[in-house]
A = this chain, B = another copy of it.
Amino acid sequence: MKITVTRKEHFNAAHRLHNPSWSDEMNARVFGKCNNPNYHGHNYELLVKLTGEVSPETGYVYDMKLLSDLIKENISDRFDHKNLNLDTEEFKELNPTAENIAVVIYDILREKIDAQYELKVILYETERNYVEYPA
């Protein structure tokens, strides 16, 4: 049977939810306070889950130190203390909802992690709102 290992990291960022093809009224109605043109922000908590076989040599599915470094280099360093809409390539054209951020993080990590591992990303936008990808 396979095992899932999880590593938790975090980053703090500003963002604004906005659909440029909509009117200001429509944006305000759909996104409410999250549409503030001057941005607001969150402490994002990120959990990265890998599923695979336990190596009989190490007793590890994946070295958690390596996974932590991989997340820091590819995700935290990219997004921490950034304005997601203005400072990142990924969200120049893509609305930085928690859902879209999770998919972007998944796509970045999927390329860095060997295909033998199943990958899942959980992103907390607040203590009371979080998303999981894939479901």
Contact = CB atoms under 8 A, between A and B. Distances in A.
A106 to B, nearest CB: 9
B54 A100 contact: yes
A127 B40 contact: no
B126 A51 contact: no
Given A36-B87, A58-B30, A59-B100, A129 B17 contact: no
A38 interface: yes
Given A40-B82, A81-B40, A95-B59, A65 B32 contact: yes
Contacts of A57: 19
Given A36-B82, A95-B59, A4 B41 contact: no
A26 to B, nearest CB: 10
Contact of A99 (B34, B60, B80, B94): B60
A12 to B, nearest CB: 5
Given A59-B100, A94-B59, A100-B54, A6 B131 contact: yes
A65 B95 CA distance: 17
A135 B40 contact: no
A61 B12 contact: no
Contacts of A75: none
Given A3-B99, A36-B82, A8 B128 contact: yes
